[in-house]
């Protein structure tokens, strides 16, 4: 088959047979006309001509779609994303979702759309979530006081029941529903499902109650879902070998899951821009740093407070084979795409 364009006609040449069309539709003064030309019996080609006519002369460059700057910009962005799609296609990306991105409807929609887009272009995203704000709401409704020690929720039996209800029954299913509605196929899991996570009590269990750590990860159920193109959505609740449920920090769960899956990248969505050289200066963002450098920042007190467990989670996942770990600003719309599809990123990337 071949094609030529002359004036306002597009001629498509096919072999074996020719087709005949008459003008059947008229919109205002524009016409589409399909005609055929039959070549001699010795010829192997027939010609299908598609002609567009109008009362006013137009050229290809006059097309609104081609001359619209917004359309051109979108095409350019799509074209420039090709190297990143090629780099990450087929690779597993584990995303920890929490903080401001869970509170804002716009940011929640942004995260969901980013995950679905990444899945559509061939990446294999896995989502791990917490749900602190939602837990607080239910505890207030039940008149159960919220207590924290060293940034971890003190979890007695009543609180553990509320945590499980919110994370497994509410937040998880809401995210699954949103991802499915956006066009992908999500499957909701807790640590108990498929023996995905086995928990153990925290060393500070006497003070923290049913706050746990990840003792073991069995990625079998996850690998099966990822291999068929589904997006696993994991809540950070797991049970020990005796069936006792524990509330586990979602950052920790994300790091351990990333290591078990051999993920290309771990991404933690946070309420800060990333790691700052000067905590008082938002402009002092560290764009990239290795394990040695970030450990030195902890020793020097430049990384402190709630950022320390996040950094330690990244270090641990990198030590177990994850290629890179990033702490990014979840307050920025489409920060996931910024991190994966641009050189600038959306926070701090830690390398091994």
- Of 191, 209, 212, 310, catalytic: 310
User: Is the pLDDT confidence value at 13 over 50?
Assistant: no
- Of 98, 130, 132, 255, catalytic: 132
Q: Angle at CA 276, nearest 5°, toward 274 and 281?
A: 120
| pLDDT bucket at 132, cuts 50 / 70 / 90 | confident
If one compares 36 and 282, the residue with the highest pLDDT of the two is 282
pLDDT for res 26 = 38
pLDDT in tens, 323-343: 999 999 988 889 999 899 888
Q: Mean pLDDT throughout 296-321?
A: 90
Q: Is 132 a catalytic residue?
A: yes
CA dihedral 332, 338, 343, 349 (to 10 degrees): 60
If one compares 35 and 151, the residue with the highest pLDDT of the two is 151
End-to-end CA gap in the chain: 53
Q: Pick from 45, 53, 41: which is nearest to 4 by CA? A: 45
Asked if 226 and 187 count as a contact pair (C-beta separation under 8 A), the reply is no
Q: How far apart are CA 57 and CA 272, in angstroms?
A: 55
If one compares 198 and 284, the residue with the highest pLDDT of the two is 198
Q: Mean pLDDT throughout 140-167?
A: 90
| Contacts of 92 by beta carbon, 8 Å cutoff, 6+ apart | 123, 124, 125, 126, 226, 258, 261, 262, 263, 264
Q: Is 265 a catalytic residue?
A: no
Q: Is 138 helix (H, G, I), strand (E, B) or coil?
A: helix
Q: Mean pLDDT throughout 175-202?
A: 96
What phi and psi values does residue 157 have, to the nearest 5 degrees? Answer: -65, -45
Strand partners, 95: 127, 267
- Cα 120 to Cα 66, 113, 114: the distances in Å are 26, 10, 10
Of the candidate CATH numbers 3.40.30.10, 3.40.1160.10, 3.30.70.1230, 3.30.1490.20, the domain formed by 91-351 belongs to 3.40.1160.10
pLDDT for res 75 = 76
Q: Supply the DSSP symbol for 204.
A: T
- Of 96, 255, 265, 274, catalytic: 96
pLDDT in tens, 75-123: 776 777 788 888 889 999 999 998 777 888 888 999 999 999 999 999 9
- Of 99, 131, 188, 345, catalytic: 99
- Of 251, 255, 329, 330, catalytic: 251
pLDDT in tens, 14-32: 444 444 444 444 344 444 4
Q: Is 96 a catalytic residue?
A: yes
């Amino acid at each position: 088959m071949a094609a030529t364009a002359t004036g306002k006609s597009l001629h498509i040449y096919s072999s074996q047979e020719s087709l005949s069309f008459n003008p059947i539709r008229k919109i205002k003064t524009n016409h589409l006309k399909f005609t055929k030309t039959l070549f001699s019996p010795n010829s192997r080609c027939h010609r299908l001509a598609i002609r567009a006519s109008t009362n006013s002369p137009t050229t290809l460059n006059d097309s609104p779609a081609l001359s619209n700057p917004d359309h051109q910009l979108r095409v350019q962005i799509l074209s420039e994303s090709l190297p990143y799609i090629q780099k990450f296609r087929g690779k597993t990306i584990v995303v920890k979702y929490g903080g401001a991105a869970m509170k804002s409807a716009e940011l929640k929609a942004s995260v969901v759309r980013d995950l679905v887009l990444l899945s559509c272009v061939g990446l294999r995203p896995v989502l791990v979530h917490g749900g602190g704000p939602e837990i607080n709401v239910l505890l207030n409704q039940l008149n159960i006081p919220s207590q924290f020690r060293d940034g971890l929720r003190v979890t007695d039996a009543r609180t553990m029941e509320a945590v499980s209800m919110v994370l497994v029954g509410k937040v998880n299913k809401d995210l699954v529903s949103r991802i499915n509605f956006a066009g992908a196929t999500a499957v909701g899991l807790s640590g108990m499902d498929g023996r995905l996570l086995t928990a153990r009590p925290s060393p500070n269990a006497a003070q923290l109650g049913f706050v746990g750590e990840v003792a073991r990860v069995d990625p079998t159920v996850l690998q099966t879902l990822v291999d068929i193109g589904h997006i696993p959505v994991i809540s950070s609740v797991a049970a020990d070998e005796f069936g006792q449920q524990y509330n586990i920090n979602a950052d920790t769960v994300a790091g351990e899951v990333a290591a078990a899956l051999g993920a290309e990248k771990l991404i933690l969505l946070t309420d800060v821009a990333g790691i700052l050289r000067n905590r008082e200066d938002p402009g002092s963002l560290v764009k990239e740093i290795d394990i040695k450098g970030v450990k030195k920042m902890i020793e020097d007190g430049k990384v402190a407070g709630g950022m320390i467990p996040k950094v330690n989670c990244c270090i641990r996942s990198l030590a177990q084979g994850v290629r890179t770990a990033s702490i990014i600003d979840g307050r920025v719309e489409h920060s996931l795409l910024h991190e994966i599809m641009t050189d600038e990123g959306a926070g701090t990337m830690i390398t091994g």
